Chains A and B, each alone.
Chain A
């Protein structure tokens, strides 16, 4: 068998050493790492710039809207005042207490034997309430006080058909027999008593 001598082993070793040079390998690794790091950084930078740009646009939008919003708030106050004024005025006009209706009901309760000398009616002191005081003279053939009681019932019935929460009563000690008499046109002579009737009722529920 011929003898094979590898006279190139030193060259081979040198080549191998050159190929697997640690410094070369280190530089390669460093380049790859630096590239990855650069790509990563630029992607984060891109995201950051996109977010900042969106924020800038929204800030500009908000600045414009703020001016319009301030004007809108002022206008809202104005409109609310106008709306509440209009609503109050309409309600004031529609919910006024109508006196002819009240006088009509009262006149329906009066008979020739009942005289009113003073009528005081106030719709302004308490909201939605009317307070009435009626002073007068009541006549009857036999018992004026009984006629006064009938008058109270009539007033109560008539007013209850038109108003709410009607309260009718005689003022304490106001029914007094008098020595005077009344002669009607028919010739009837009536005994008399004075009275003070207090009525109150509600104009709204």
Chain B
């Protein structure tokens, strides 16, 4: 026997079905989709954050490895700094050089400061250039003097030499030479 529905009952069914559809759509639009979207966003944010965390850890490890060498480097820099007396160079460089040359039997060299310059590769240091003059020196003493300066002062760099013979005394030479040394800025 076919189910005979009255008009009222058909109306009620239609309203019921409509409400159901609205409920289902609202369920998805207001509950499920926002929850899913929030989860996807959280996953995406996490994906973006993980490489940053890795990079931060790598940076920290890199510096930890560099710190292993740091004491050796610090030692070199401390040794270099110990070779540079404190105070204005004008007060210690000429006497230091005069003392070295005195030990080679050379008295009263003339020391004049030439120029001051920065060294691009050394941010914490600057370079001073000096001109030296030693008149009436034998060739042997000249070689000994230069060798002694180079051996005793490893921070001193002899940049040029000029030797002129002496008309009055051919065995004696006039020596001019330039020295660069480093001081801390």
Contact = CB atoms under 8 A, between A and B. Distances in A.
A24 to B, nearest CB: 14
Interface of B: 3, 16, 20, 24, 27, 31-32, 35-36, 38-39, 42-43, 45-46, 49-50, 52-53, 55-57, 59-60, 62-63, 66-67, 69-70, 73-74, 76-77, 80, 119, 121-125, 139, 142-143, 146-147, 150, 154-155, 157-165, 178, 180, 182
21 contacts: A30-B20, A40-B32, A45-B35, A54-B46, A55-B46, A62-B49, A66-B56, A69-B59, A69-B60, A85-B77, A89-B122, A96-B157, A100-B143, A100-B150, A103-B142, A107-B139, A118-B163, A119-B164, A120-B160, A121-B160, A124-B159
A116 B162 CA distance: 12
B76 to A, nearest CB: 4
Would you call the interface of chain B mostly helix, strand, loop, or mixed?
helix
B148 to A, nearest CB: 10
B29 to A, nearest CB: 12
Nearest to A59: B49
Contacts of B42: 48, 51-52, 54-55
A119 B162 contact: yes
A69 B121 CA distance: 27
Given A55-B42, A93-B154, A117 B164 contact: yes
A115 B150 CA distance: 27
A97 B156 CA distance: 11
A118 B39 CA distance: 87
A154 B46 CA distance: 76
A107 B56 CA distance: 62
Contacts of B122: 85, 88-89
Contact of B53 (A37, A62, A83, A90): A62
A201 to B, nearest CB: 15
Given A115-B165, A121-B160, A103 B146 contact: yes
Given A79-B67, A85-B77, A65 B60 contact: yes
Given A81-B123, A93-B155, A104-B143, A117 B165 contact: yes
A118 B77 contact: no
B150 A79 contact: no
A58 B44 CA distance: 13
A66 B52 CA distance: 9
